[in-house]
Structure 1
Amino acid sequence: MTSTARRSTKSDSSNLVEMSWDPITRIVGSLGIYTKIDWARKQVVECHSTSSVFRGYSIFMKGKDPRDAHFITSRICGICGDNHATCSVYNQNMAYGVRPPHLAEWIINLGEAAEYMFDHNIFQENLVGVDYCEKMVAETNPGVLDLANRTEAPHAEDHGYRTIGDIMRSLNPLEGDFYREALQVSRSTREMFCLMEGRHVHPSTLYPGGVGTVATIQLFTDYLTRLMRYCEFMKRCLPMHDDLFDFFYEAIPGYEEVGRRRVLLNCWGSLNDPEHCDFSYQNMESWGRKMFVTPGIVVDGKLVTTSLLDINLGIRILLGSSYYEDWEDQPKFVTHDPLGNPVDQRHPWNQHTIPRPAKRDFDKQYSWTMSPRWFDGTDHLALDTGGGPIARLWTTALAGLVDIGGYVRSTGHSVVINLPRTATKPEKTYEWKIPQWSNAIERNRARTYFQAYCAAAALHFVDKALAEVRSGNTKTWESFKVPDEAVSCGFTEAVRGVLSHHMVIKGGKIANYHPYPPTPWNGSVRDSFGTPGPYEDAVQNTPIFEENKQENFKGIDIMRAVRSFDPCLPCGVHMNIAGGKVLERLHTPHAFGSNL
C-alpha cells in the first residue's frame, strides 16, 4: 500500500527528544499531539495524533425516527452543528424521495454560506491568527519580527498596515485592532445565519423537504446589508493575509516544508443548485457536478474524479490503531446500492461501532478516532481536507465547472472571485491559484480566499431568492412520507471539510446511521496498513525553525502545522453511557495515562 509520508527520515534514536502537546489549545481540548524530535537536525521524525474521548451517535441513532435525525446529529458539535443538520436533511431528502422548493434551497445555501464566513473568520483571525501575531513571533522568532518591522507591506494601500510588523500587531489577541474587528464581523455573520435558519448553531427552521423560514423581501434585505459590509471587510482581509503569508516564505527559507504533505485532497461538494439537484441517488453524479463548490478528489495534483457516486462507493472505514473491535464478521446492512453496485463491508452503510477501550499504546491502539480512507481500486488513500478551503478551491479550480452569476468562476487552474463596489471600496477581482504545496501556509491562505468565495456566491443566492419571492414563489416546504425501507446518503462540506451522512431505514426506523465529518479524515490514526493520518503525516518531518532552545521550546511550527487544518475533535469522537452505568475511578496514575 502507498504510504502518505512524504519522505523517509533516519535518525539516531539517542538524539531523539519526546515532546507532547495534550491538549492542543484554542480548540476543543481532546486532541493530543505526541512527537519525537531530532533536536540536532531540528526536525520532527515521528508523530502520533490522539483523541481521548468516546461518544456513540452511530449507536444511539439506531431505532430512532428518521425525521429526528437532523435535530439529533446537529448536537454532534457545538461549532458546526448546522452543517450536520444540513447534511442530515440532504440524506433524508434522498431517503424520502422529496425535492424541496427552489426557494428553500436558496435559503439553506445562504445559511451555509454565512456559516462558512462566520466560522472561517473567527478561526482565521482569533484562533490560528494568534500563531502569526507579534507576541507569538516575538517569543519564538525575534529575528523574524525584527525583519517584519523593517518590511513594507506590498498591499498597504488596500489594508492600511504599513509594515508586516504592523499586521502582526493587529493580530495580537484582545489588543490588536484587526483581532477585535474580526470579533464584530463574526457577530454580524452569525446574525446572517440566524436570519435564514432561525438559530445558531442548531437550526430551528431546517427540515427534510425544505425550511420553515418565512421568506420576505425584508428578510433578504437584512441579510444583504450585512453581506455587503462583509464584502468590504474582505477587501482588507484578503490582501493583508497575502502579505503576511508571503512574508513567511521570504523571511524563513524552507518554510514551505512546515506542515507539508503529499497532495491528497478530498471535497464532497457544497451549496446545491436547486435547478438541478433532485437529491436522488440515481442522479447524484449529475446533480453533484452542478454544486456551487465542485466535489472531487485530487491525488498528486491531478483530479481523479468529480463523481459523488464514485466518492460514495470508494469510502472505507479502517480501524488500525483505534479503540474498536472489527466488524468483518458482522452481517451487512447493504449489499448493493440503489443502482446495483456492490457495497463493501467497510463502507459506512455496513459499519458496526463496537468500542473496545484499552491502555494507550503507540505500537497498538492509541485513539478513539477511526481511519476513513478512500479506495481507488489499488490503494487506501489517507485523504485530507486541508481544513476545508484548500481542498474545496483545488477541486473546484481543476474541474472548471463553476460559474456563479459572474461572481465566481473556476478556470481549470484557478478560481476567480469578483466582489462588487461597497461603501468605500471599488469593485475588486481576486484569483486563487493552485499552489505548489499543500502545507500550513497554503491551508491558511485558502481559508481567506474561501471566505471571499462564499461572500460572492451569497450575492448570487440573494439575487435568486429575491427573484423567487417577487415571482410569488414563496413556498419553502414540500410534504413527504417516510418509507418502510430505504438506503440513503447526504454529501456536503462542513466548515473544516468533507461531511457525509449514511443511513439505512428498516421498518420505518433507523437501522444504521453513520456521520463522517472532516475530523476523522484529518485526525485519523495509523490505519490497518500502517499509513499515518494527515495530522500525523503533516507534522512528521516538519522542520523546526523556532529560535528558542530546547528548555524554552514552544513548538510553534508544530502548532502551525496542526492548527492549519482547523482541527476540531467533537465530530471525531462521540460519547454514550448506555443504561446509566456508573463508572468508578479507582486511581489516576498519570494525567494523560488513563483513557476512561
Structure 2
Amino acid sequence: MTMAEERAAAELATDVVEMNWDPITRIVGSLGIYTKIDFKQKKVTECHSTSSIFRGYSIFMKGKDPRDAHFITSRICGICGDNHATCSVYNQNMAYGVRPPHLGEWIINLGEAAEYMFDHNIFQENLVGVDYCAKMVGETNPGVLEQANRTEAPHAADHGYRTIGDIMRSLNPLEGEFYREALAVSRTTREMFCLMEGRHVHPSTLYPGGVGTVATIQLFTDYLTRLMRYVEFMKRVVPMHDDLFDFFYQALPGYEEVGRRRVQLVCWGSLNDPEYCDFSYEHMTDWGRRMFVSPGVIVDGKLITNDLVKINLGIRILLGHSYYEDWDGEEVFVERDPLGNPVDRRHPWNQHTIPRPAKRDFDDKYSWTMSPRWFDGENYLAADTGGGPIARLWATALGGLVDHGYVKSTGHSVLINLPRTAGRPEATFEWRIPRWSNAIERNRARTYFQAYMAASALYFVEQALAELRAGNTRTWEPFTVPDEAVSVGFTEAVRGVLSHHMVIRGGKIANYHPYPPTPWNGSVRDHFGTPGPYEDAVQNTPIFEENPPERFKGIDIMRAVRSFDPCLPCGVHMFLGEGRTLHKVHSPLAAATAL
C-alpha cells in the first residue's frame, strides 16, 4: 500500500484533523512539525518534520585554507559553536598529523565539559522545564496538577520541595524559584568555559595542535571553585527530576508511549584521553575507545560497534524527500580510507551538495534536511541521538570502558560519584539503562549527564594540575598543512553526534561536510519511506492533553519533539488554531487518487 493509500484508509475510518506547529524554535525558526491527529482515538496518525533554512557550509568551505575551518564552522550555530570548532580542530589534527600536548587536551576537555553543563542546564530547566511547570500542566492537564499537589515528593529531603506540585511551581518561567536559580547557574558554567577557551560560543584560543590558553594554577582554581558550586547544585537536581519524571508515569498510565521509538541510538564519543589519542586514522579504533564518553551504535538495546573506523565507514547520506539533486555521476573524492577500506559514494567524504528549492510536497520534497543513515551491512538505520545524553550514557554504560574514580561504566549502568561539597555530603548516582527510548527518558538522561560531566570535569582538573606541577606547561604543538589529506573529526555536540569530514587538495579544502545531530534527528523520510526520528517519535504518540480540539495546545507533541533538544532555539512559536478537518470520502481508490 502506498503512503497516499495508507492516509486515505486512515481518513475513512476516523475523523482526522491537521494541526501544524511551524516554527518550533530555540534560535532560528526553521523547524516545523506537521501532523494529523485522530482526536477520537487520541493519537497522532501522521507526522512530517520540516526545515525551512538552507545553510550551504559544505559549498562555501571549498577552496578555503584548512586552518580557517574551525573559525568558519563554529558559526554554523550560535549555541554549540564551540562543539563545531572542537570537532573541526580534531579533524585538522588528523589532516596535519599533529598531536597536542597533554595539557592542551585537558584544557579542551574542561571547556567542552563546561559547555555540556551550561547548555543542558539552561535547556532542561528554562526551556524543557516549562513543558512540565505548574502553569503548563494546569492549562493542559488540570487533573494531573491536582494530583501533583497531593503527591509527596519521595526525595524532598534532597531537593527541598515537599510535593510534586511544588516542583512544578518552581519551574514556572521567570517567577519560579528553581527556574531563576538555573539561570544563575548557567552564568557560572559559561564563565567556566571562557576561562578555558576565551570566549563562548566561538572560542578564541582554540587551534589545531592545542590551545593558546595560558595555563596557571589560578586558572584551574577559578574553574574548580565554580565547578564545586555546580556539583552541589546537581545533588539537588538529579533527585528532583527523578521525582518529577517518575510522577508522570504514575499520574498518566501509558505515558511511556509519548515520543517513544525503537532503540536506534548513535554516539560518536567525546573528550579524548591525551595519553592515548594521537588523532591518526590508523589508530582511531583504539583511541576512540579511550574517550571519556564512549562511542557506540546501539540497536534494540545491544551495542553493535564502538569502533570509530567502522562507525565512519557506515555513515550514509541519503537525500530522501529533501530539496537536493543526487550526486550520481559527480566526482568521487575518496575511494579508500587511509586503512585501505572502500568508501561508499554516499559517504560524506564523497558528498556533493546540489540544492534545488521546490514547493513543499509531503509526497515529494518537503525539507532542507537530508536523511543521514547508518548502514549496518544490510539496513539503513534511521538512528537518533535522543537529544545527546541518552545515547551517550547508553553507549558508555554498555561499553564498560570508563573508570576513573568519579565515573564508572558497569556494562549495564553508569555510576557517578560526586564528592563532599560545602553544604552537602558525598553523593553517588546511578543511571540505569531504561526500558524505553521516549520523551521522559531522554529528559531524565539529560539531568544525569550533567552530573556525569561535573564528575568528569573534576578528573580533568586533577590531570591538568598534575601536568602543571610536573612542569609540562606547553599547550600547543606547531604543524604544517599538507598538500593532500583525508581526515575526519568525531565528537559529541551537546545534542548528539557531530562529525566533520574533510578532503585537502593542493593545500586547500576540496570537500568539507559537517554533520551535526540536527540532520540525524530531524531527517526527512528517506527513499525507502522510513521516517526520520522526530517524525517517528511523534507519529503514533498518544494524546493525554485534556483540552478539546478547539483549545488544543499539543503539549504531548511538544514534549516528544523537545526531548530531542532540537537545535532551533530560543522562543516557542506555535499555531494554536482549531485545525482543519479532513472530510471523509466514500471510496479508498478515489481518496488515493485525490491525494
- 1:400 counterpart = 2:415: no
Other-structure match for 2:159: 159
The Cα shift of 1:29 comes to 1.4
Judge conservation of contact 1:98–1:478 (CA < 8 Å) in 2.
yes
Other-structure match for 1:363: 363
Letter in 1 for 2:296: G
Structure 2 counterpart SS, 1:403? coil
Q: What is the alpha-carbon root mean square deviation over aligned residues?
A: 1.1
Measure the CA separation in 2 of the matches of 1:90 and 1:518. 17
The Cα shift of 1:14 comes to 4.9
Judge conservation of contact 2:313–2:347 (CA < 8 Å) in 1.
yes
Structure 1 counterpart SS, 2:417? strand
Measure the CA separation in 2 of the matches of 1:393 and 1:201. 24
- List gaps (5 residues or longer) in structure 1: 4-8, 571-596
Letter in 1 for 2:408: R
Structure 2 counterpart SS, 1:510? strand
- Mapping of residues 393-472 of structure 1, within 5 Å: 393-404=393-404, 406-472=405-471
TM-score, L = length of structure 1: 0.93
Q: Deviations for 1:122-160, whole angstroms, at most 9, x for unmatched residues?
A: 000000000000000000000000000000000000000
User: Which of structure 1's runs of 4+ aligned residues deviate more than 4 A?
Assistant: none
Q: Deviations for 1:512-559, whole angstroms, at most 9, x for unmatched residues?
A: 000000000000000111100000000000000000001000000000
Measure the CA separation in 2 of the matches of 1:64 and 1:135. 50
Q: Deviations for 1:156-196, whole angstroms, at most 9, x for unmatched residues?
A: 00000000000000000000010000000000000000000
Measure the CA separation in 1 of the matches of 2:146 and 2:62. 58
Other-structure match for 1:511: 510
Q: Deviations for 1:248-275, whole angstroms, at most 9, x for unmatched residues?
A: 0000000000000000000000000000
Q: Deviations for 1:326-349, whole angstroms, at most 9, x for unmatched residues?
A: 001111000000011000000000
- Mapping of residues 175-574 of structure 1, within 5 Å: 175-404=175-404, 406-569=405-568
Measure the CA separation in 2 of the matches of 1:568 and 1:108. 22
The Cα shift of 1:25 comes to 4.0
Letter in 1 for 2:299: V
Judge conservation of contact 1:11–1:38 (CA < 8 Å) in 2.
no
TM-score, L = length of structure 2: 0.94
Letter in 1 for 2:530: T
Q: Deviations for 1:222-268, whole angstroms, at most 9, x for unmatched residues?
A: 00000000000000111000000000000000000000000000000
Q: 1:224 to 1:152 in 2, by over 3 A?
A: same
- Mapping of residues 101-116 of structure 1, within 5 Å: 101-116=101-116
Other-structure match for 1:123: 123
Structure 1 counterpart SS, 2:50? strand
Judge conservation of contact 1:522–1:565 (CA < 8 Å) in 2.
yes
Letter in 1 for 2:367: S
Judge conservation of contact 2:25–2:568 (CA < 8 Å) in 1.
no
Letter in 1 for 2:285: E
Measure the CA separation in 2 of the matches of 1:475 and 1:268. 28
- List gaps (5 residues or longer) in structure 2: 4-8, 570-595
The Cα shift of 1:34 comes to 0.1
Letter in 1 for 2:491: T
Measure the CA separation in 1 of the matches of 2:328 and 2:240. 51
Give the number of aligned pairs.
562
Measure the CA separation in 1 of the matches of 2:142 and 2:210. 54
Measure the CA separation in 1 of the matches of 2:170 and 2:566. 24
Other-structure match for 1:576: none
Measure the CA separation in 2 of the matches of 1:568 and 1:417. 27
Judge conservation of contact 1:501–1:514 (CA < 8 Å) in 2.
yes
Measure the CA separation in 1 of the matches of 2:10 and 2:399. 39
Judge conservation of contact 1:117–1:455 (CA < 8 Å) in 2.
yes
Letter in 2 for 1:378: E
Judge conservation of contact 2:26–2:568 (CA < 8 Å) in 1.
no
Measure the CA separation in 2 of the matches of 1:26 and 1:132. 17
Measure the CA separation in 1 of the matches of 2:125 and 2:357. 37
Q: Deviations for 1:23-54, whole angstroms, at most 9, x for unmatched residues?
A: 11445311000000111100001000000011
Identity %: 84
Judge conservation of contact 1:171–1:179 (CA < 8 Å) in 2.
yes
